[in-house]
Structure 1
């Protein structure tokens, strides 16, 4: 089972997979893939390639085989990262060209591989389907990404991520955890993104974990389900926290439990007047996840953090502002406009400098003064070498408004 494979073994299996695909080695693929393999690929891929493939044979013939029929392409992994639940996140690029002369293919991918019996038994893929379509058919219109619980859009350097389970108050289930992990990776690898805006559709930002989903667990299954969800979700939080661009979160209604982790990742948090912030874990007999134990003591202090958990305190928007959990409170009707305006301003700013400061703030929490002074010197050196810094200083001297390009 996957828990018996260490990260090095999982990475080696993944490398073997990509080598077998590059060579078209059917025997190697048969040896690597579990008989109960399931592949989930991006909706909107050309030639009807997006969807779910049950079984190793179906994936090999109907997906990889059809790609080989229509493209001269290769999946080139660039990084491997083990998730807490035993899966493996692989980032890389598809490169090549369409066989029909449609054009060159250059598209990022993120794969999440799962394992059983020391074989690969699942692959979930996210890639830019528009790039595949453009390579296969000149002038084809953009098509949506294969996301079931989120919406994701990048316009003019601003990435907008919206939790989209409004009927469940954006409760985080296994699908949302996976998709947040995938989208966070996209944000980390898309150099055109200069700011991120986090939103929640419907009446709540997010109520945290999906209790309706967890309540269906049979005896003894709950620990495994929670581990499977927290693995990719925590990886998403790690990735968002490390992004080299600023994040704005717009929260409203119920904002609770592990879902607070998305709020913590943001640099600017705008809260609607109807926001209610709570942990809620204690009432369920659970400890906590979603980085609550790391961020809360640092943001509100140990006493208040204990009060939130032990006494089940629910904060309204003004209290959250007073405690330092949000930056400002606005009427619900103004929330989206206010948060988007803030994110758009940040996207037009010196994002190289923003990224350095983001890292300095995060790393300062575990650094000595001497270490932090050294880090500031190095960061200042890097930002001084940017075009943004040179142009901004010249604009200041010339009494002109600077225009930043994020480089």
Structure 2
């Protein structure tokens, strides 16, 4: 059953494929409280639906997701920022774990801007397909915050801890071609073919033996169960530490004012 088009997340089932689509295109699918809650609900339905044999993650508009909605966060600077971020992180942690712990294969179709928590949502899939418009920028360091939504573990899983650490710390933009070369994504296709290629891949996986898919996913997934839960808790704690620091207020304020932030010199 599809969710109304005005929802920040649209979900439907098409011939055994559970399709979950981010739907805040005017913000490049920036993550606020409403989107996080809708995403969690949609993933829970898809993961728990016996009629769904594979899941497709996608997004409406010119970007998969830039990550956190800084305009929304900017309205809650001060003592309320850390609790707000904590609530959103907790909402995103549950579906991230469901996708990784589910026996169902998951495919993501990623275009345009990808940053922050959007990285975690995109890379929570087993197969990640992008088009040439993809530009990934981690974003956290620029505003005095730290990774969430599984971004730290999923990026490190794909390209190694050292490379992931460098991308998070330097905050440089990574092109679609480099994402493919590094292994951040599994396949680079044309913009016109992105959604159809991703859907076809999901259908191919849905037609495979469900038992085979479940066992392969389990054997090749070090980030299951307690290991993933522990990393997500560590992300939560790290974000709370950053959000309670004055640098987070400075970083978000500077971003909104389009100026260079001036961070403190001690942690």
TM over 0.5: yes
Larger relative helix fraction: 2
- Are 1:361 and 2:201 matched, yes or no? no
Give how far 1:147 is off: 7.1
Give the structure-1-normalised TM-score: 0.53
- Are 1:155 and 2:19 matched, yes or no? no
For residue 280 of structure 1, the aligned residue among 118, 139, 151 is: 139
Separation in 1 of the partners of 2:56 and 2:142?
A: 31
Paired residues for 1:218-367 under 5 Å: 218-363=77-222
Separation in 1 of the partners of 2:91 and 2:223?
A: 26
Larger relative strand fraction: 1
More RCO (CA 8 Å, sep 6+): 2
Give how far 1:313 is off: 1.8
Separation in 1 of the partners of 2:53 and 2:62?
A: 28
Separation in 2 of the partners of 1:285 and 1:181?
A: 26
Separation in 2 of the partners of 1:248 and 1:154?
A: 14
Counterpart of 1:113 in structure 2 is none
Change (3 A) 1:309 1:364: closer
Structure 2: any 5+ residue segments left out of the alignment? 227-267
Separation in 2 of the partners of 1:286 and 1:364?
A: 23
Give the structure-2-normalised TM-score: 0.80
Alignment: residue pair count: 226
Over the residues paired in the alignment, what is the CA RMSD in angstroms? 2.0
Separation in 1 of the partners of 2:210 and 2:117?
A: 29
- Are 1:170 and 2:32 matched, yes or no? no
Change (3 A) 1:337 1:217: same
* 3-state SS in 2 of match to 1:248: strand
Q: Which has the larger radius of gyration?
A: 1
Structure 1: any 5+ residue segments left out of the alignment? 1-127, 129-142, 368-407
